[in-house]
Every structure is written in structure tokens, then in C-alpha cells.
Structure 1
Amino acid sequence: MELTLRRKDTTLRGTATGTGPTVLLLHAGGERREVWTPVAARLARRGLRTVAYDLRGHGESTGRATSLPLVSDDVVAMIHEERAPVVVVGASLGGLAAITPLADPEIAQAVAGLVLVDVVPDPDPLKARAWLDERGLRDAHDELVEDILGRGPALRSAVAKIELPILLVRGGPGSPFTDAEAERLRTANPWVKVTRVTSGGHLVARDAPDELADLVADHATEWLR
């Protein structure tokens, strides 16, 4: 089922798949909602409904993603569109965009849990820029990248305030994040659990969709219960 979410300065296009409690899937920067298609299909077989939008400035959605708060505001609108409770799954940019909203108890009450897919709130800016540059991923979204990298302390503070189960799914070889960064996130919030998909790189949904879907389904089912 195709979805349209109209906002003041953008129109977001999405796809809903399956029936049951809702899992909101937020893609990484430079991606589009189709990256979630195999994950959504597997979650549907596990009795979960998924909703995946193109983030602003990506895919079929309009607008520009020039700052993280703009994307975060869209995530709040997506959550409010759905019947509570939902589970939020965010990869890279999608995960970062969910952190600040879910630190707000009024928004968090509509959410059963958060899955962060290979993303931490406070990556090392120099290493992050180098990793993006090596893959030619920074030029198209440089304004957004710099905005995010300047928000590390604020995002770290926000994630510490989230009173929801949080699962960090780390990628395997090719992930830009270190054990120390994952441990810093776990230390910041006692709700955090960490697991790893070694068969995937940074884009776990693209590299290992079945393994990621099973992790999401297992935890979502438990949280929603």
C-alpha cells in the first residue's frame, strides 16, 4: 500500500507492507525506502506490519534534508500517523533522526522500542568524514553531514534520556564504528543491548536483510508484548 504524508515544506512518500503491529523503518542517508523491501517481506511473514518512507530529499519525497532536526520532525509526524505502539528501526541517518524525538516522553509513549542499525550518536567527526569521502557519499549531503557531526554531545545527551528498550545492531567488516563507540552508547543508557551482524557492512539492511529482519522481529515481538 502506497502512503503519502504531507508536511508544511515537503511531501513524504511511503509504503506499508503486511498486517499487525507497526514497525517504522527509517533508511540511511543516500538510500531510499526500497532498501527495506526484503526486510519488510520477512517481517510480514512474522506477523508485523511495516511502514517505510523515503526521507525528505530522498527517493520520491520532496524537500531538502539540510539539518537533522528537519528529518527528526518528519519522524515525529510518521510516528503520529500510526496506531501506537510502534517499533522504530533507524539505519544511520534514520537512527540519528529518531534519537532526539524519543528522548521526549510524550513522543516515546507511542513507541515500544528502538533499533539502531550501525549508528552511534557521537561518531568521531574526522573518521566519519574520511569514511564518507572514501565512498563518495559526502558531497550530495555535506550540509546535513556537518550539521549531524556538530550535534554529537547533544545526541549523546538525548540518547541517555530515552526510557525505551534500545537494540544496537552493529555491522561487520566495513562498518565505520568501533567497539569503544558501541560501548560508549551502552554505558550512556542502561536500556541498550548490542548485537552484531557480521555478514553485513554499514548498510545491514542491504547486505543481510534476512538476519536483520529476524533480529527486529524477535525484539519487536517481545517489546510489543
Structure 2
Amino acid sequence: MTLSYDEAGDGPAVLLLHAGVCDRRMWDAQFTALAAAGHRVVRPDLRGFGESPVAEEPYTNSGDVLALMDHLGIERAALVGASFGGRVALFTALRAPERLTALAVLNAPLPDQGGCASPELAEFDRRENELFEADDLEAAAALNVETWVGPEGGETVRAAVHAMQLHAFEVQTAAEQAVEKEGARFVLSATEADGPHDLAGIGVPLLVVSGAHDLSDFRLGAAHLAGAVPGARHVELPWAGHLPSMERPEETTALLADFLTEAAEAAGTA
């Protein structure tokens, strides 16, 4: 199965991997701007999001990313991932470092992060599970907007995140119901390799972005990742919540474009 995706531009390849509360539409501003700046930009919907269906066979998201690159004839690419998409990007870098030219992760949970959630994140998980059990997907989507959209995200951003998250919930819930039927083959979650992982082995330029208004789990994770990878650059945006690419798209685009240019120049491919 090939993931649904958009592609634009020519030049060094860049894949944009969306957050778990969104789909590929979260990158609207960056998709257009990076293509205009001389990149071949690809933005997929991961399985169960946007227009990509839930899997009917065992899979990993990192394997899907590499398969998409193969499908498009891309030998090496820069990966830019937000939140869940950042975690997928990290797993891809650990799995096939030779396929990457650069890596940028925005508010991403670490591959080994888990089991020690902050009180705020634990309370979010509790409330979300409660709403799932009540089959109130609308309220669950609203909770995600409340939690993950920072103060710079206006009503248009909030409405867009709500629509993307609600759609993902509906697709994934329908798949869960299908699993209960005899003969259903849907796989509801990917299984990546268990840790511990050698983060120091990420041998490409790395930009780690965190938001000052995000939950502490992601801010601390960003600091840990930047400290574990030699040469990594950590930028904490004082205005950002969990989704800076939507909260201040122009500023986030400029940050990413500068990083990609610097990485290409360092590799001699600019």
C-alpha cells in the first residue's frame, strides 16, 4: 500500500510528517513555501489519518516512510516531523540513517519516552479515554484542540485541527469496529523496534524544536534529544505551543528553510 501524499517542486527532497492530531494539511504553508524555495517536497498522510486508510497488514510507520521514498525514487531525503510525525522521523533515522540528509523534529516524543508522563499529560490521557468510552468523538477532538493548540493559534487554526483530529478519530474508530467482525484484518497500530535506542548514532544535521507553551513532557524530551546527539541544535520558540507550523506558519517556515539550506551546504548538495 502506498500512502496518500502530495508532491511539489524540484531539488533536494524533503518529507513532511504530520502530528497525530492532524494530517498532511497541517503543512499547507510549508509545503508551498519550501517547494518555491527549491525543494522537492512530499507530505504524506500516515495510516489512519487524512486519506490513508488503516492498514490491513502488519506495518511500521518508519517502514511506510521508506517505502514511499522508494516508490518516488528518492534515495535520500530530509525528514521534518511534528509530534507523532517527529517520532516517526526519529525511528526512520534510527532504522535507515543512510537514507537521510537532515532531520528536524518539532515537539516530538522520543522513541524511548513513555511510562513517566507529567500530571498534565496523564490527566489529558484520562479525559480522552473517558470520552472515547462514551463514544463522544466530537468532545475528544475538542479536548485535543484545547490541549495542543498554543496561544498563537487563532480560530481558523483551532477549527482546522478539530476537523483533522475528528476525521482521524472517525476513521480509526470505524476500523476498530471492523476488527470485531469475523475475518477482519485491520491493524490498528504500528509496532516499532523496542528501545533502548542509540540516539547519538543519528549522524545527520539535527534541528530540535520545542514550544515554551507546550506540555513539559515534550520540552524536556527536546532538551534530552538535543543533548544526546552531537552537534544537534535546539530551539525553543517562546511563543509556540505544540503546533508551531500552524500557529506561526511564516516564522516556522523560515526556521525550517534556513536549517535545510545550512544542512545542504554542509553536505555540499546546495
| Structures share fold, TM-score greater than 0.5 | yes
TM bucket (normalised to shorter chain) is 0.7 to 0.9
Using CA pairs under 8 Å that are at least 6 residues apart, name the structure with larger relative contact order, 1 or 2.
2
Deviations 1:48-74 (A, max 9, x none): 22100111010111124999x621211
Distance 1:185 1:60, change over 3 A: same
TM-score by length of 2: 0.66
Partner in structure 1 of residue 159 of structure 2: none
Q: Which amino acid aligns with 2:67?
A: A
User: Which of 33, 44, 47 in structure 2 is aligned with 1:42?
Assistant: 33
Could you tell me how far 1:176 is from its partner in structure 2? 4.4
**How many residues matched?**
208
CA distance in 1, matches of 2:5, 2:88: 17
- Cα RMSD between the aligned structures? 3.1
Q: Which has the higher strand share?
A: 1
User: Which of 71, 77, 83 in structure 1 is aligned with 2:67?
Assistant: 77
Partner in structure 2 of residue 222 of structure 1: 262
User: Which of 204, 216, 224 in structure 2 is aligned with 1:184?
Assistant: 224
Deviations 1:110-152 (A, max 9, x none): 211100011130256433343454764499479759x78x96x
CA distance in 1, matches of 2:251, 2:9: 19
User: Which of 221, 225, 239 in structure 2 is aligned with 1:199?
Assistant: 239
Q: After the TM superposition, which residues 25-104 of structure 1 pair with which residues of structure 2 at under 5 Å, given as runs?
A: 25-64=16-55, 70-80=60-70, 81-104=72-95
Identity across aligned pairs (percent)? 28
Unaligned stretches of 5+ residues in structure 2: 129-141, 145-164, 174-187, 266-270
Structure 1 or 2, whichever has the larger Rg, is: 2
Distance 1:216 1:123, change over 3 A: farther
User: Which of 113, 124, 136 in structure 1 is aligned with 2:102?
Assistant: 113
Q: After the TM superposition, which residues 97-176 of structure 1 pair with which residues of structure 2 at under 5 Å, given as runs?
A: 97-104=88-95, 107-121=96-110, 122=113, 125-127=116-118, 128-132=121-125, 133=127, 136-137=143-144, 140=169, 144=189, 154=195, 157-176=197-216
Q: For the Cα contact (< 8 Å) 2:10–2:38, is it kept in 1?
A: yes
SS at match of 1:169: strand
Unaligned stretches of 5+ residues in structure 1: 1-6
